[in-house]
Amino acid sequence: QDLPGSLGAKEVPSVCEMCFWRCPIVAKVKGGKVVKIEGNPKSPTNGRGDKARVCARGNSGIKLLYDPDRVLHPLKRVGERGEGKFVKISWDEALDEVAENLKRVRDKYGPHAIAYFDHGASAEALREVFKGLGTENYSNEPAFFQCVGPVAVAYINAMGYLASGTMQYTDMANAKAILLVGSHVGENVHVSHVMDFVEGLSKGAKLVVVDPRFSVAAAKADIWLPIRPGTDTALLLAWINYVIEHGLYDREFVSKYCEGFEAVKKAVKDWTLERAARICDLPKDKMEEAIKILASARPHVCIHPGRHSTWYGKGDVYRHQALAVLAALFGGIGTPGGLYFPTHIPLGHLGRVKEINPQPSATPLKEKYPFSGPFPGSPTNEIIQATLTGKPYPIKAWGVCGVNILQTIPNPYQTMEAIKKLDFIFSFEILPTETAIWSDIVLPDTVYLERYDDVYVYDGLPQCYVTARQPAVEPLGEAKSPLWVAKELARRLGFEIFFTESELDIINDKLRGLNLTFEELQKEGGLVVLPAKGAYDRENFKNLFGEKGLKVKLAIEDFEDEDFSPVPVFEPTPAPPKGFARLIYGRVPVHTFSRTMNNEWLHHEWPENHAWINDEVATKLGIRDGDEIVLENQDGKRSFPVKAKVTPGIRPDCIYLPHGFGSRSPKLSRAYKKGASDQFLITHYVQDPFMGSSSHRTSFVRIVKDGKVLDIPELRPVPPEIPRFELAAGSAAGCRIEKHLKHKKRRHKKTHAIEGC
């Protein structure tokens, strides 16, 4: 105890939850407090040798645990929704109120009038309660509908497994070339994923990065292709055509494992590099150089599937399908350096948890979206629409856990309107986020360092493992574990789901599948390494549909059956209206979504975001690096003030905002009003016809500086193939443009007059 630093601390192996990558950790405890978090050195992913890595966020879990703003007592709203006025109430009172309200809504409007937005480990137990209530809207994960939906649908249908979803089975460590399309690994940090990326590069892998912005990954690339946003599929189709025309594909792989080659070949035959160069606004020779680099590395080439893929609403699935086709043409599936197969790790049966499968409604919200299954839940924006309109059926109560819906789902103004229409909304929260302050009841959740939770398996390379979460310290205040809350709530609702009070029982049930107990796991340092099996074994690979042997569908019949194109096609997304730039966004390495901006240490590293503006555009507008500006979108919505980052590292037709800043919750004392929220500028969205995810890159902004609205000059002309986004006639921005133009004329006159004096 007298040793300096974290030396001599009690070490508790557990699992991180600062993001969902869930690295194995060791929490170091001194004097009853967590003083340090390190990686679990036994982990084959973030351990390895004498290292034990956690990222900046993993290191900062302590400051989530001890955040002075934490919700530590059940709260009941006393002011208006969104006003943030609450009183402390007892757990009994809070749970009674939640149960009564949910019951009342169910009895009056039926079970589907209740919806649950969830994400992360805390949300799982409560999800069972919603299933128990009988709603079909029980797992409306923004993680799917606002993030991985398109890439998941593309890869499940093309390859029969989720090559990229929560996990990425990308063997970058052994790749000879890597392609990233919009993925900004390095700024988007998942420890073992970044490790694989860096390892591959250090061993000499060539890197091609397609991104309108000069990302950290682009800075490490051999070729950076600053593509016109929304045209990635055009580039991929031209590359596919080039690869086929020049015989640069893996004939053996294609004939042995692929179906639909002729259909693809026919579909892409008009996609010349020249045509794509014009549409994508890229130099043809660079495009050619890049595809030659990738092709010459085949089959050890990693065509990264991407992850967050809800970009334009139309055509998102085709973009990822095209990436899958390219990977297959190179034979880069089930081979070192390409995409690989996860290892099946059998967990034990959950005898102590009742299995519930709610009956769907007569008019399911996901009905229009043929590919929203096999995942449960309804597209989040359909829930919001149903809440607003009462159609096809009314939704009157929401529960929220682990997701800040106002900083996650496009058009938060609409979400707020929907919340106003609800009879009841509650959240199970750690911090007083925007969602919490819009809730009627807020239940205090435990931080991952305070609870037993679940068994976590890693099923990728270089080796697999099993580990489990356990508490390092007792919960603070009145925070309660998800299992306790779910059990108490179910009891009040008159049913039982969990036939135990101990998470340990559930952990042990699952571990039994591996002939392990929690105790044995602890003796092994909290983690047991398991061999990765069949990562490159194409013959014995078993797909999600239970079929053995890899079969890649270059043309997907199931898509055709639902009147989509079986092969990827380019569907242009409208270009920015005159005077506007496209708003694009991304991650910073020290923050997770909008969750960590209030964390003392992470806030110190990165307190606010900066709006990246192309240097030529900035010069024309008279904006200097560091100037304070406001962004105004096509609907006249304005951001909080944000500093301009003037750089050649972004195209002139985009403005980039790192995601998650600009909190609107005054209860988050550090994060409140720091930087600008991209989400509050994304008011226009398009829903993907495949699975109903909503687009995030279909809003446009211009700059307001010193109260003056500045139009973005169009330095890169838009080709005729690409339609232009039309401002709604009479919309706020439309009117404002006219006003602004008039105003501008007047101002010019005035300026002249002054100069004349």
Give the residues lining the site for another protein (CB under 8 A): 3-7, 35-39, 46, 50-56, 58-60, 62, 185-187, 189, 191, 194-195, 198, 201-202, 214-216, 218-220, 224, 589-590, 600-608, 610, 647-649, 670
Q: Which is nearer to another protein, 226 or 412 (CB)?
A: 226
User: Whole-angstrom Cα distance, residue 671 to residue 659?
Assistant: 13
Give the nearest distance from C-beta 638 to another protein in angstroms. 23
| Maximum separation of any 2 CA atoms in the chain, in Å | 90
| Percentages (nearest 5) of helix, strand, coil residues in the chain | 35, 20, 50
Q: Which is nearer to another protein, 69 or 571 (CB)?
A: 69
Tell me which residue has tokens 């929704």: 81
Nearest distance from C-beta of residue 12 to another protein, angstroms: 15
Q: From the CB of 729, what's the least distance to another protein, in Å?
A: 39
**Contact (CB, 8 A) for 489 and 399:** no
Cα 299 to the chain's mean position, in Å? 29
* Closest of 130, 313, 196 to residue 687, by C-alpha: 313
Q: At what angle do helices 316-329 and 232-245 cross, to 10 degrees?
A: 20
Would you say 190 or 298 has its CB closer to another protein?
Answer: 190
Map residue 8 onto helix, strand or coil.
Answer: coil
Upper half-sphere CA count for residue 444 (Cβ side, 13 Å): 20
Cβ proximity to another protein, 55 vs 123, nearer residue: 55
- When the beta carbons of 187 and 478 are compared against another protein, the nearer one is 187
Q: Which is nearer to another protein, 243 or 447 (CB)?
A: 447
Closer of 319 and 595 to another protein (Cβ)? 595
Pick 114 or 597: Cβ nearer another protein: 597
Choice between 79 and 607, CB closer to another protein: 607
Shortest Cβ 119–another protein spacing (Å): 23
Cβ nearer to another protein, comparing 55 with 287: 55
In the complex, least distance from residue 450 CB atom to another protein, rounded to whole angstroms: 18
Between 148 and 590, CB nearer to another protein = 590
Residue 681's CB: how many other CB atoms inside 10 A? 27
User: Contact at 8 Å (CB) between 632 and 704?
Assistant: yes
Secondary structure, 3-state, 204-271: CCEEEEECCECCHHHHCCCEEECCCCCCHHHHHHHHHHHHHHCCCCCHHHHHHHEECHHHHHHHHCCC
Q: In the numeric block, which tokens belong to residue 122?
A: 């805390």
**Shortest reach from residue 615's CB to another protein, in Å:** 9
Query: Which spans in 466-556 are helix H?
Result: 482-493, 503-511, 518-523
End-to-end alpha carbon distance in the chain: 78
Question: CA nearest 145: which of 125, 168, 165, 123?
Answer: 165
Burial class (CB in 10 A: 0-12, 13-18, 19+), 191: buried
Of the pair 113, 590, the CB lying nearest another protein is at 590
Query: Which C-beta is closer to another protein: that of 227 or that of 718?
Result: 227
Using alpha carbons only, what angle is made at residue 432 by residues 426 and 435, rounded to the nearest 5 degrees? 45
CB 184, CB 587: distance < 8 Å: yes
Closest approach of another protein to the CB of residue 195, in Å: 6
Minimum separation from the CB atom of position 613 to another protein (A): 12
For 44, how many CA atoms within 13 A lie in the half-sphere containing its CB?
16
Q: CB-wise, 96 or 187, nearer to another protein?
A: 187
Cβ closest to another protein, residue 202 vs residue 255: 202
**Cα(167)–Cα(174) distance, rounded to whole angstroms?**
17
Integer Cα distance of 518 and 512 in angstroms: 9
Shortest CB 16 distance to another protein, Å: 12
| Shortest Å, Cβ 91 to another protein | 32
Cα angle: 128, vertex 132, 135; to 5 degrees: 100
| CB 54, min distance to another protein, A | 6
- The whole-angstrom separation of Cα 32 and Cα 66 is 13
CB of 541 to another protein, least distance (A): 30
Nearer to another protein by Cβ, of 643 and 705: the residue is 643
Closest distance to another protein from the beta carbon of 311 (Å): 22
CA distance 339 to 331: 10
Q: How far is the CB of 645 from another protein (least distance, A)?
A: 9
Nearer to another protein, 3 or 754 (CB): 3
Give the Cα separation of 213 and 654 in Å (integer): 9
Q: How far is the CB of 603 from another protein (least distance, A)?
A: 6
| Torsion from C-alpha of 599, 601, 602, 608, nearest 10 degrees | 90
Which has the closest alpha carbon to 186: 150, 156, 213, 204? 213
- Give the tokens for residue 136: 């079909």
Of 36, 38, 7, residue with least CA distance to 23: 38
Shortest CA distance to 283 belongs to which of 228, 331, 325? 228
β-strand partners of 219: none
- Minimum distance, C-beta of residue 2 to another protein, in the bound complex (Å): 12
Identify which of residues 45 and 698 has a Cβ nearer to another protein in the complex: 45
CB of 430 to another protein, least distance (A): 19
Decide: helix, strand or coil at residue 334.
Answer: coil
In the complex, the smallest distance separating the C-beta of residue 312 from another protein, rounded to whole angstroms, is: 25
Sequential DSSP letters for 637-702: -BPPPEEEEEESSB-TTEEEEETT-SB--TTSTTTBT-S--SGGG-----B-TTT--B-SS--EEE
